Amino acid sequence: MNTMLRKSVLGVAGLAFAGGMFAGPVAAQVDGAALGAGKSVAAVQADKPDTSRLVPHGVQGEQSRIDLDAEQTANVKAIIAATKKAGMDERAAVVSIATALQESKLENLGHLGDRNDHDSQGLFQQRPSSGWGTVEQITDPEYSTTAFLKGLKQVDGWQDMPLTQAAQTVQVSAYPDHYAQWEQQAADLVTQHWNN
């Protein structure tokens, strides 16, 4: 083998090794459970929703991110399950999770007394007095997500709107632009949990 060809082969092998070192731990960290279950990295990545469908307009503005505890993660999974049950896609789950991140930080909030916005409760801070349902209903993650999605379905062209516009049309918030800051984390959560 000539020297030039040997350097090329070794260079490609080195890049593949370096790529594996850099991509491997990240992939294993994100998909450790799936990889531990015997799936290859390629199979795990094939199971992931397409990012262009999750964030079709790209994220807008500065993004926020919080660490989630077990309860918040369970609420993410409940939102995804309700979205699937409603026959809606991954983008609807991103809009729903981003909305719940803004409204409650994915905590199923009861009445907060003086700190409460009127009688808003649950993941989406829905109000019984505005017809969202009873307190028991809107503090049930499946019910509250289904109610939010029902409102979203009624928004003509929501799939083609920026996330914050779609969310605001349903929520009618005093802070309509605040939903946008959660789009990346919501998309990451849908990517992580959609097929689990």
Q: What pLDDT is attached to residue 37?
A: 54
Residues 69 and 18 in one domain: no
DSSP 50: P
Number of domains in the chain: 2
- SS3 for 34? helix
Residues 42 and 112 in one domain: no
Residues 182 and 147 in one domain: yes
Residues 73 and 17 in one domain: no
Q: What pLDDT is attached to residue 112?
A: 58
Residues 33 and 72 in one domain: no
**CA 45 – CA 48 distance, rounded (Å):** 5
Residues 42 and 59 in one domain: no
Residues 179 and 140 in one domain: yes
Q: What pLDDT is attached to residue 129?
A: 84
DSSP 189: H
Ordered mean pLDDT values, 10 residues apiece, the chain (196 residues): 44 40 37 51 57 80 95 97 97 97 91 61 89 92 97 95 94 86 96 93
Residues 55 and 123 in one domain: yes
Asked whether 132 and 138 are in contact (CB, 8 A), the reply is yes
Residues 59 and 35 in one domain: no
Q: Please tell me whether the overall predicted TM-score, pTM, comes out greater than 0.85 for this model.
A: no
Q: What pLDDT is attached to residue 17?
A: 38
Expressed as residue numbers, the domain containing 85 is: 51-193
**CA 123 – CA 58 distance, rounded (Å):** 25
CA distances from 150 to 48, 83, 92, 99, 103 (A): 25, 10, 11, 14, 18
Q: What pLDDT is attached to residue 11?
A: 42
Q: What pLDDT is attached to residue 79?
A: 98
Alpha helices (H) along the chain = 3-30, 32-36, 41-47, 51-54, 70-85, 90-104, 135-138, 141-153, 163-171, 183-193
- SS3 for 127? coil
